[in-house]
Structure 1
Amino acid sequence: MARLTRLAGLMADVALGLPRRAARYEVRKDVAVPMPDGVTLLADHYRPAGHDEPLPVVLVRVPYGRAGAFGQLFAAPLARRGFQVFMQATRGTFGSGGQFRPFTTERDDGLATVDWLRKQSWCDGRIAMAGASYFGHTQWAVAPYAEPPLTCVMPHITSANMTGRLFYEHGVPQIHTALSWSATIGRQERPGLLSSLPDPRDRSRVNRALGRLPLQAVDVAVAGAPVPFWRDFVAHAEPGDTFWQQADHDQADLSRMPPVSTVTGWWDLFLAGNLADYTALRAAGVQARLVVGPWIHGEPGELRTIAQTDAAWLGHHLNGGPAPAGAPVRVYLQQAKRWLEFETWPPPGVRETLLHLGRGERLVTRPDDEAEPSRFTYDPADPTPTVGGPLLSPPGKQADNTSVEKRDDVLVFTGPALDGDFDIAGPVSATIFVRTSLPYADVFVRLCDVDPKGVSRNVVDGIQRLDPRLSEEPGPDGVRTVHVELFPTAYRFRAGHRLRVQVSGGAFPRYARNMGTPEPFGAATEGVPCDFEVLHDTAHPSHVAVPAL
């Protein structure tokens, strides 16, 4: 058994691109940690063999199980490098007591665990936290509040703000992500050897379920039983609901954060929040490093980079090893197959370039006096579909947008062929002047790359909900000025390619369809079509702003 364990460890290190290390360690399973409310959480304790003295602890808090793939990916590789790791199952998962209500108890439980660890004879008082995605979030729930502060953290592919950046992106529920994740967590502890593995049938189940109305109980269709997270997600989406404030930590005192290392991907659904967090951390004076690669959420290349940067970050902050080399920001320039390094994010010295929507479905360099409004109708009974983009799991990333761009409910504006390569890096935004027949509507904007054969592939996009309870009233002429935050990127449009902008009223099933009424999205069953007029003359200069390198 010991030989098999070592072989498995060697294979894991090779897969993660880590130098081979054979440090011996012991694992004490099912370590009980009492919470203040009487609930007990269980953890596995990895400790270097032959060491009796107190050592620093790397805390990993995870809802997907302490053993199996997650233990092999996030605990054992660190243990083989001589670190003491404490991998804890979050409340209500894999032996830990209580109910798993995601994002609602991680601050209290995490702080209580840190306090308990510091009282153990085998802990020297220094605690780091590691992990990605949900267990990146568990770091944000603890690090700004821990006293004394943590030694360092590594919150990868996650965000300090879960409400406006992920659950309800600029007011629009991300139903595909929410239901896909509900399907995973809803069945992960079912009896059976394969219950915790990805099920290829989940994708079709989720898509079928999202086509149903109402949405409030479709979790049963994908998970076989109600999933508390989905019920919370649909019940607390209305403006003014404070339920999810406990999941947002971007308003905490970030100056109290320890040094931060973070990894994300251009196609990761957490990207926008991840980069906003990095910028805020640096503004607060926190030592921080950032890597952004060409990855979707949990892609192998992303996981390898996480493992490698974690080992270096912990070696520096816990063992006094050398500081990571190079600039603090390292990003991959897509379509150029090269990495760029910057001192800050957004990159310094970029030039904002405006792509104006012009007449004749053209992208132009300046507004056109004679451009007539462009019109379309969004019908929630036949919602505008989306392809590609940042999703929880494949298929995502870039995709052929031909089928979407042929629809009558999608406006398309295309620029001329480029004389040379055009590189952009940084935030992308849009300003769209729009008149709608209903006060409830969504504005979706997508920037695409059109190759010489005419194939249009998405680069970045964004959405903004119009809601009279939140939005400014339209002007006397009924026109609204809608600012849309698209995802950031670093991307090369190659010579001979053309830039294209889409404008539409939705992107289903990635986002919930806008029914045109104030009815909560989870309970709605009837929708009303909405007529759009997009203005793009000199008085209404609708445009997309890109950061040119």
Structure 2
Amino acid sequence: MISHLVERKLKLSPPLTRNVVVQKDLRVPMPDGVELLADRWTPRSGGDGLPTALIRSPYGRRMFGQILARPLAERGYQVVIQSVRGGFGSGGTFDPMTQERADGLATLDWLVEQPWSDAIVLYGLSYLGHVQWAVADQLPPQVKAMIPVVTESALTLEFLRSDGMSLETPFGWGVLVGTQERPLAMLRQAGQERKTARALSTLPLREADVVAFGERSAYIQDILTHDADSERWQGFDHSARVAGVTVPVSSIGGWYDIFLPGQLRDFEVLQAKGRPARLTVGPWTHAEFNSTPIDEAVSFGLAHARGEQPADRAPVRLYVMGEEAWRDFSSWPPPGYEPRRFHLNADGVLGAEPGESSTDSYHHDPADPTPAAGGVRLVDDSGRVDNTALEARPDVLTYTTPVLGEDVEVIGEVSAEIWFSSSLPYADVFVRLCDVDPQGRSWNVCDGLVSLTGAEEVQRADVRLWPTAYRFRRGHRIRVQVSSGAFPRYARNPGTGESRATASTLLAADQTVHIGPARPSAITLPVR
């Protein structure tokens, strides 16, 4: 029954067999004497010697085994799914992302020695993909391919930027791993999500973990007090290992995925080094499960594990939103797309040239924060959503082109420069690109935020938005939003200069966007 449900939910092709068995609680020794537990999924007959998919997970082996391991074991693999250190029966203490290189290399050494294992494929999404990058430059010859899905080599560091702290995702993940082994955790999930959402408004934020689940979390305390450059996160960043990868890599991401910029950076490194790599990016959020990763594990991973070449396809396959179609390209970013500036002008107009000098202002109150609406999030309200209600708020400015007389195709990196000042020295600038349809509904395409200091003086805010592939159709309009937050996706800026962890006072501010030839606020889109 589970096999049929997973097949229907993920829209998978029929399996080779549904008759699989699980060898539970294999003990994998680490050099320091700790043992990590793993389950081995195989077809009931003929499993020995099949290519082995290795999955290392902090979320347990049983439920994830049904979703991740079973479909692969039914389609030509044997699968080893291991609980990482400190969770779900594995020994030691869980310290997120800091132990995965040493433990991953030791696990590979163990797997190579097993008489039933030969060729190995590394597979997994999110944290389960990050652990692949942790070992990627020191793989034994038995590893034939990597398939990292919605992940990157420097996991979570984008969230902890000193100039733009994300809150909802790293905090929510800290709550998840802090509560997932409690009794009846799955049944209590909806209630826990409500408590977590309330906790994000706690002042000071250093008390939010106790509000969310009743105890201190060392990880949550650390994300609130250490930014991305802190020594605390030294073990997190494996980006320097990407260039050393020699096995073929198939990287799968989503336009609304939380890790997309880093994932594209990793692919660009492989591409520049001439490594055998390909990239697939769909219209997905982080938590969307679909057939693509499993299809790729079968068509790409099994082929390399057997010493064959997978079916030929372009190195880059992108889903172009708006056109709602898959397209193939030779590289990322694709050739032929040139940067074009769209300037913020008076009266809410977005134009090809800067207009007369003027200003637009709005009042921002972090006690009534500008809300996140869709976009790059882990909650249900993610991806493309109608932004009409958001844009009706007085703390959101919008700038819109006339109706397009022809399609405008945008594929690549998106950025904005906003000339900005505030009545306070500390302020955030949030920029969002939207598609306005003929009915007047505004749909978010991509966005980004940057935090400023010295904002009482006019300065240029350089905002890096998420990359995208989007076709704005003839008859639609292109819109840019400017505001000072997207809560709780990003932490509220208290306006005081205090640490986000300790701030207990929130100050409202009057924000000003400056436009015109001398201060040419604009968004830059890669256009063909």
Task: Tell me the distance in 2 between the aligned counterparts of 1:181 and 1:52.
Answer: 35
- After TM superposition, the structure 1 = structure 2 runs for residues 126-137 of structure 1, keeping only pairs within 5 Å, are 126-137=119-130
Segment of structure 1 superposing worse, 13-22 or 322-331 = 13-22
- Contact 2:120/2:143 (<8 A) preserved: yes
Shift, 1:44, TM fit? 0.7
- Contact 2:433/2:480 (<8 A) preserved: yes
AA matched with 2:475: G
Shift, 1:153, TM fit? 0.7
Q: Which residue of structure 2 aligns with residue 450 of structure 1?
A: 436
Q: Secondary structure at the match of 2:195?
A: helix
- Contact 2:133/2:242 (<8 A) preserved: no
Deviations 1:156-191 (A, max 9, x none): 0011122442x2257322211123223322221112
Q: Which residue of structure 2 aligns with residue 290 of structure 1?
A: 279
Deviations 1:247-301 (A, max 9, x none): 111123513342111212112222222222212221122211111111112213x
Q: Which residue of structure 2 aligns with residue 533 of structure 1?
A: 512
Task: Tell me the distance in 2 between the aligned counterparts of 1:8 and 1:457.
Answer: 36
- Contact 1:61/1:88 (<8 A) preserved: yes
AA matched with 1:544: I
AA matched with 1:340: R
Shift of the 13–513 alpha-carbon distance from structure 1 to 2, 3 Å rule, reads: same
Task: Tell me the distance in 1 between the aligned counterparts of 2:492 and 2:8.
Answer: 44
Q: Secondary structure at the match of 1:326?
A: coil
Shift of the 163–12 alpha-carbon distance from structure 1 to 2, 3 Å rule, reads: closer
Shift, 1:25, TM fit? 4.8
Task: Tell me the distance in 2 between the aligned counterparts of 1:129 and 1:155.
Answer: 8
Q: Which residue of structure 1 aligns with residue 211 of structure 2?
A: 221
- Contact 1:187/1:196 (<8 A) preserved: no
- Contact 1:356/1:543 (<8 A) preserved: yes
Q: Which residue of structure 2 aligns with residue 471 of structure 1?
A: none
Question: Does residue 1:496 correspond to 2:508, yes or no?
Answer: no
Gapped runs of 5+ residues in structure 1?
1-6, 469-473
- After TM superposition, the structure 1 = structure 2 runs for residues 99-498 of structure 1, keeping only pairs within 5 Å, are 99-124=93-118, 126-146=119-139, 150-165=143-158, 167-169=159-161, 171-192=163-184, 195-196=185-186, 199-237=189-227, 240-252=229-241, 254-300=243-289, 303-368=290-355, 370-467=356-453, 478-498=457-477
AA matched with 1:244: W
Gapped runs of 5+ residues in structure 2?
none
- Contact 1:375/1:532 (<8 A) preserved: yes
Question: Does residue 1:79 correspond to 2:58, yes or no?
Answer: no
Count of aligned residue pairs for this structure pair: 527
Task: Tell me the distance in 1 between the aligned counterparts of 2:291 and 2:47.
Answer: 31
Segment of structure 1 superposing worse, 239-248 or 499-508 = 239-248
Question: Does residue 1:22 correspond to 2:8, yes or no?
Answer: no
Shift, 1:149, TM fit? 8.0
Shift, 1:479, TM fit? 2.9
Question: Does residue 1:62 correspond to 2:32, yes or no?
Answer: no
Task: Tell me the distance in 2 between the aligned counterparts of 1:253 and 1:278.
Answer: 9
Name the TM-score, length of structure 2 as normaliser.
0.93
- Contact 1:296/1:390 (<8 A) preserved: yes
> How much is the aligned-residue C-alpha RMSD, in angstroms?
2.4
Shift, 1:352, TM fit? 1.9
- Contact 2:156/2:170 (<8 A) preserved: no
AA matched with 1:518: G
- Contact 1:418/1:496 (<8 A) preserved: yes
Aligned counterpart for 2:36 among listed residues 29, 35, 41: 41
Shift of the 50–400 alpha-carbon distance from structure 1 to 2, 3 Å rule, reads: closer
- Contact 1:296/1:393 (<8 A) preserved: no
Segment of structure 1 superposing worse, 195-204 or 54-63 = 195-204
Task: Give % identity.
Answer: 43
Q: Secondary structure at the match of 1:201?
A: helix
Task: Tell me the distance in 2 between the aligned counterparts of 1:311 and 1:226.
Answer: 42
AA matched with 1:255: G
